[in-house]
Structure 1
Amino acid sequence: MMSSSPLPEPVTTRMRQRHRTESMKAMDKCHQYVTRLFRFGHMDFEFAVWQMIYLFVSPKKVYRNFQYRKQTKNQFARDDPAFLLLLFVWFVISATGLSLALKLHFLGFVKFLFWVVFIDCVLVGALVATLFWFVTNRYMRSSDTEDVEWGYAFDVHLNAFFPPLLILHVFQLFFYNVFISEDYFIARLFGNTLWMISVTYYCYITFLGYSCLAIVRHTQTILYPLVPLFFVYLVSIIAGINVCRVMMDFYHYRVY
């Protein structure tokens, strides 16, 4: 029985050199990004605000800029941390509002802020980004010369995370104690619909993030989970499950 012959040495060497070069470039980009976190004067906050607005009204325009960055700087991922810093500001604002709605003490506010930033956004986002990074590069990539950057996958998560953050952690606050937390059918319908809208935003913006990459195909599969989620949404309303109140109770007992 003949064993398969290994790759020729020059090919193996080139592959190793390519991976080593890509790793060094990724580390260098990460170092530059972290360094810029402390240089507020070099950040374009006006453009970051523009991105946040258009993630609501026209997400496609946001990803056109990612394509322009690829042409000019040879990377899709953000190199300006202004968006990340503004997102953290919204975390503080939303955590303050939710702490007041849940009547949390200061330590509870700190715990809640920590949970939302590092668990809900960073940890879960890193897992989701890694999953999409692996699946797109392994099964959905149409070119062997380029791959999807992990940093870009995490940027897509941050983009998709922002609208649900404002809908569920800011807009909902104006209605929770006076309306959504009640047992009425209309209150349950309104609160669960906010969650359905938020999930739809997340899936749609994620879909746009990968569909704008020429090297990724079959991106419509990212929208498929919306079908079973819609049925879960209907069942929750019929079964009398108030998703907003369930999540509020979860956060309250988690950080109180």
Structure 2
Amino acid sequence: MNPHISIPRQHGGSSTANFGGTTPAARSEGLRMPRFFKRLFKFPQMDFEMAIWEMTSLLIAPKKVFRSIYYHKQTRNTWHRPDPSFTYLLSFFMLLTGIAWGIAYTNSVGAAVRLTFLFVFVHFLAVSLLVATAAFFFVGRLLGPGIAGLPGRRRQQGLFTREGEGEMLEFGYCFDVAIRAFFPVWVWLYVMQFVLWPLIARDNLISTFFGNTLYLVALGYYTIICFLGYNALPFLHHTELLLSPTFVYAILWFISLFGFNIPKHVGPLLVIGAR
């Protein structure tokens, strides 16, 4: 054997063996900050035009909003959209309505400021986080694949999902669904109710009918959008069970027409904590 022949090194490899089983890059992979928070202050990268399109579609054709997640899953390999533009935009709208409600129904500047913060951080963000957390723990377990006790076959896989892939509910996606379901609630209960308050908060049949219908529509939108969001995931089945609250809302709405004006009694709860 010629001692002058050298063995070439392999390009891209390491000269030392890794006996730990995982590389530093693999270990740091699990410590990555979620992309949603990474992009929290990168405003040039946010797609506000897409957020406006989603808001418009949520009112007239909400199914379109979640139909596009297949393409997002194909390109990004995640159901969650790590773009905070929708959250920022709706937070800004809540800020404006909080100022309007504060000026109209509070007695001081401090109370108006408190109400504005309550609208943004409690009514919108905290409630959405609470709903997303509950959905993350319960929807995946109750409506996921292989759940015993539910009849029927599993749903077919999606266009870009193979058997065994992507069958895990993401918390970020649950938050996406929650904040998008909140948008029609903002339209009907924070904007329309504010505008129509002098007319619907009266003790007569017409005011009770239109005021109570406002709440029925808002809660119905919320439930339907949540259903559409989870129904779009190919690994969940029997998602129609998420529509069951609409029957309860309809029964309560019908009962309330016999003398219980919801805006008059429930509407003032929106300003609790500000006075």
State the TM bucket, normalised to the shorter chain: 0.7 to 0.9
Question: Does 1:219 pair with 2:239?
Answer: yes
Change (3 A) 1:200 1:245: same
Partner in structure 2 of residue 7 of structure 1: none
- Which amino acid is 1:165 matched to? W
Partner in structure 1 of residue 129 of structure 2: 126
Deviation of 1:133 (Å): 1.5
Measure the CA separation in 1 of the matches of 2:194 and 2:168. Answer: 41
Partner in structure 1 of residue 201 of structure 2: 181
Measure the CA separation in 1 of the matches of 2:30 and 2:214. Answer: 38
- The answer to whether the 8 A contact 1:97-1:170 is kept is no
Alignment gaps of 5+ in structure 1: 1-16
Matched length: 234
Measure the CA separation in 1 of the matches of 2:29 and 2:260. Answer: 49
Alignment TM-score, normalising by the size of structure 2: 0.78
Deviation of 1:237 (Å): 1.7
Measure the CA separation in 2 of the matches of 1:157 and 1:200. Answer: 14
Give matches, 1:1-256, under 5 Å: 28=32, 30=34, 32-142=35-145, 146-177=167-198, 179-238=199-258, 240-256=259-275
Measure the CA separation in 1 of the matches of 2:114 and 2:181. Answer: 24
Displacement over 4 Å in runs of 4+: 23-27
- Which amino acid is 2:267 matched to? M
Change (3 A) 1:79 1:59: same
Alignment gaps of 5+ in structure 2: 1-20, 146-163
- Which amino acid is 1:244 matched to? P
Which is higher, the Rg of structure 1 or of structure 2?
Answer: 2
Deviation of 1:41 (Å): 1.3
Normalized per residue, the structure richer in helix is 1
Change (3 A) 1:253 1:205: closer
> How much is the aligned-residue C-alpha RMSD, in angstroms?
2.4
Alignment TM-score, normalising by the size of structure 1: 0.84
Identity of aligned residues (%): 33
Deviation of 1:136 (Å): 2.5
Change (3 A) 1:159 1:29: farther
